[in-house]
Amino acid sequence: MSVSPSVQASRSASPLPAATRHALEKILSAAFGQRWKTLANALRELPAREGPVRRDGVTCLGREPVAESLARCGLPVQSRPEDIPPSDWVAIASFLQDTLA
């Protein structure tokens, strides 16, 4: 059975490294887990290796690493998750992967 070329999914020649894929999963879950939050506010609470400590004692990303990753992608800090293109999600994950716990 033949599949129409317009319906075939394209696959990237090089898949994402495991660390980037893991970071991307965490970031997407946090970004879309709560409605009406800006991306910066959603991501700053993610557990991290170093950064500010939340009330529950968990070290989190904080504002600066998130703002820096958004700036590197050319995105304003007020960006909402639904407005970010897929390629920028990968770039944000790549930047933050070493920081996330």
Over residues 1-59, the pLDDT tens digits come to 554 455 454 555 568 888 889 999 999 999 998 888 899 999 998 999 988 888 899 89
d(CA 20, CA 8): 25
CATH number 3.20.20.10 given to 18-96: no
- In this prediction the pTM is 0.74
At residue 56, the 3 state secondary structure works out as coil
d(CA 66, CA 73): 11
Over residues 44-93, the pLDDT tens digits come to 989 999 888 888 998 998 889 889 989 988 999 999 999 999 889 999 99
What are 70's two structure tokens? 């958004």
